[in-house]
């Protein structure tokens, strides 16, 4: 299942805010928050296997970023090289997610992660993209 934008109007938003999906999202964010209460950034915490897998995945994404230099442009808006970065990630995410995500969910999960990078066409980024990353997690 490939995710499709469905919140396009105030009525759509109202339906979403009353949905089980919204409740799950709030519960997930609350659990993340609760998990770090009292934990200092200097505290040693052993990485779980899930965190180790995520860090490895993020290293691959960072390497893709490092391998995609900016294009020299006079534009004050996003750099067109972002499209190359996005395309490379989009093509590789299904492979990178193998072994981390159940096979039947890779297409859906990779869409959320790829969309969290920003909009490929407009080369922009906003809170909706951040929400895609939370959906990925």
Instruction: Report the run of H or E that residue 72 belongs to, with start and end.
Output: none
Per-residue confidence (pLDDT) for residue 1, from 0 to 100: 79
- As given in the structure block, the two tokens for residue 13 are 């938003």
pLDDT confidence of residue 5: 85
pLDDT in tens, 68-117: 999 998 888 889 999 999 999 999 999 999 999 999 999 999 999 999 99
Helix, strand, or coil (residue 71): coil
Give counts: helices (H), strands (E), the chain.
6, 0
């Amino acid at each position: 299942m490939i995710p499709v934008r469905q919140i396009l109007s105030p009525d759509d938003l109202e339906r979403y805010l009353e949905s089980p999906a919204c409740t799950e999202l709030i519960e997930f964010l609350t659990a993340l928050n609760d998990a770090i209460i009292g934990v200092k950034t200097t505290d040693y915490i052993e990485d779980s296997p899930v965190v180790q897998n995520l860090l490895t995945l993020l290293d691959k994404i960072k390497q893709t970023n490092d391998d995609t230099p900016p294009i020299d442009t006079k534009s004050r808006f996003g750099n067109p090289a972002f499209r190359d970065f996005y395309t490379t990630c989009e093509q590789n995410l299904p492979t990178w997610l193998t072994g981390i995500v159940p096979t039947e969910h890779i297409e859906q999960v990779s869409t959320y992660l790829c969309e969290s990078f920003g909009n490929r066409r407009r080369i922009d980024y906003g809170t909706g993209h951040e929400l895609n990353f939370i959906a990925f997690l």
